[in-house]
Amino acid sequence: MFDYKIHITPDDYIHELEEKDCKDYLFIAPVGETLNNEMSDVYYQENAFVPYHEHSKGYETFAIDRGSVEVTINGKRAIAEAGDMIHIEPYMSHGFRFLEEGTIWREMFLGMDMYGGILEKQLIDRSCPEKLQDDAFMVGYRLKHHTRRLGEPEPEVVPKEGMPQIRPKGKSIAHFAFDGIVCNQKVGRHETGGVKEVWEFVMDKGVCVEWDALHPDWDLYVVKEGRVEVSVLGRTFVANARDILHIPPYTGYSMKILDDQTVVHAYNVKALGLRLAEIVEKKLETGPDLAKRWDEVRDIFRQNKSCITKISRA
């Protein structure tokens, strides 16, 4: 029988790689034809450096869980800190310097097998390490992985708020406040080739959300702050801060918020979340008791491809 893990703690990695200036722990391998949901934690040494480069395909979303990072994107440079998120699209030149020992860099990828590329590089190092110093060979290796190394720029230094690829903690590209739930869009559908959206939800204690409309996608969440009680496939457990939830397709589940101001990131939102939030916000202006009319609410959710079937307060 196919084995998978729904509740993934920071110690539940499925593979690890050690490089000269970091350790990489893989939690989720790329899923499906779109190579979605790959997730790793990378622990960097102080002054570890990722050279300036670009990818011709794939999307990268990084969350800084600890430490600070000097981020260079499209010729601009800023400092990103714990709690910030960075989103990189194809042909967006970027490089990083990790400023603190033990910086935790949580990586998520769409449309690329990043971990597989790193593993392949280690295989080259094991069998023919001299090839890593062969410029022509390495250009070919990078092209296979849709990557091109660029010369280091002389960047313009800006505040992180002046670099749109950085999404500072507490900031969003769209914001909605409902009863007990604040919804912050961190990455828009237009920034992932139309594949998905990334949202941050800040929820009050006692909020309960149920997903019972079955769908063919792997849902992916990270508890950023607080605790969440999850019920899925006949079992109930508590997910703590930094825990990952990877819900398989065609599986109903629910979440109950255990602490006030619990923060949950949803990294694979296939629903038309922005449109849905705008419609609900408008409906609430004309009828604040919308939450009591769940038949109407469910219709709105279905029309926007959301599989949520109920939101309530315990």
pLDDT for residue 2: 55
Q: Which residue spans within 155-248 are E strands per DSSP?
A: 156-157, 166-167, 174-178, 181-187, 197-203, 207-211, 219-225, 228-232, 235-239, 244-247
pLDDT for residue 217: 94
**Which residues in 217-249 are b (16+ Cβ under 10 Å) and which e?**
bbbbbbbbebbbebebeeeeeebebbbbbbbee
pLDDT for residue 1: 39
Full set of structural domains in the chain with CATH: 8-167 (2.60.120.10), 174-313 (2.60.120.10)
Distance of CA 267 to the CA centre of its chain: 5
Using only the alpha carbons of the chain, give its radius of gyration.
Answer: 20
Residue tagged 């990695």 (tokens) = 13
Q: How far apart are the first and last CA of the chain?
A: 36
Residues whose CB falls within 8 Å of the CB of residue 193, separated by 6 or more in sequence, listed in order? 59, 111
Contact 254, 231 (CB under 8 A): yes
How confident is the prediction along the chain (314 residues), in pLDDT tens digits per residue?
Answer: 356 899 999 999 999 999 899 999 999 999 999 999 999 999 999 999 999 999 999 999 999 999 999 999 999 999 999 999 999 999 999 999 999 999 999 999 999 999 999 999 999 999 999 999 999 999 999 999 999 999 999 999 999 999 999 999 999 999 999 989 999 999 999 999 999 999 999 999 999 999 988 899 999 999 999 999 999 999 999 999 999 999 999 999 999 999 999 999 999 999 999 999 999 998 888 776 766 777 788 889 999 999 999 898 88
Handedness of CA 234, 235, 239, 244 (dihedral sign): negative
Phi, psi dihedrals of residue 297, rounded to the nearest 5°: -60, -45
